[in-house]
Structure 1
Amino acid sequence: MTTTSVLRAADAVIEQAASDILDQGYAVVKLSDLDATNLHNAISTAVRFFERPLEDKQAHGSTDHNYGYRPFGIEYSISPDRPDMNECFTLWASRLDLVPNAEDISDLTGSFLSWRDSLAPLVGAVLDRVAQNFGVDAAPAFEKASYLQINYCLPTPPERDLLQDKHEDGHMVTVLHATAPGLEVYVNDEAMPMLPAADEVVIMPGSVLTALSGGKIEPLYHQVRNHCLGEGERQSIMYFVNPEIDEPLFGWIDSADGQRADIREHVQNAPSMFGLPPVEAL
Structure 2
Amino acid sequence: MKKVITILISFFLLSCQGQKKEEEKNSKKETSVSEVSSKTDNTKNLIPLSKISCNQESTETTNYNLNCKKFTISNTLIDGSDQNRYELITFVFNDIEKAIIRKINNEDLETSSPMVYFSNTSKNYIIFFPINGENHFGWKLYLYKNKVLYPLGQRVMYWKPDYEETNINYSDILNVFESEDKVLVEIPSKYIIKDDNDYKNYPNYLDGKYYEDKDKSYYEFSTSKIEYYRKYKNGLFEGDYNKMINNKIIDLIK
Q: Give the alignment's TM-score, normalised by structure 1.
A: 0.29
Higher strand share: 2
- Structure number with the higher helix fraction is 1
Compare CA radii of gyration and give the structure with the larger one.
Answer: 2
- Identify which of structures 1 and 2 has the higher relative contact order when contacts are C-alpha pairs closer than 8 Å and 6+ apart: 1
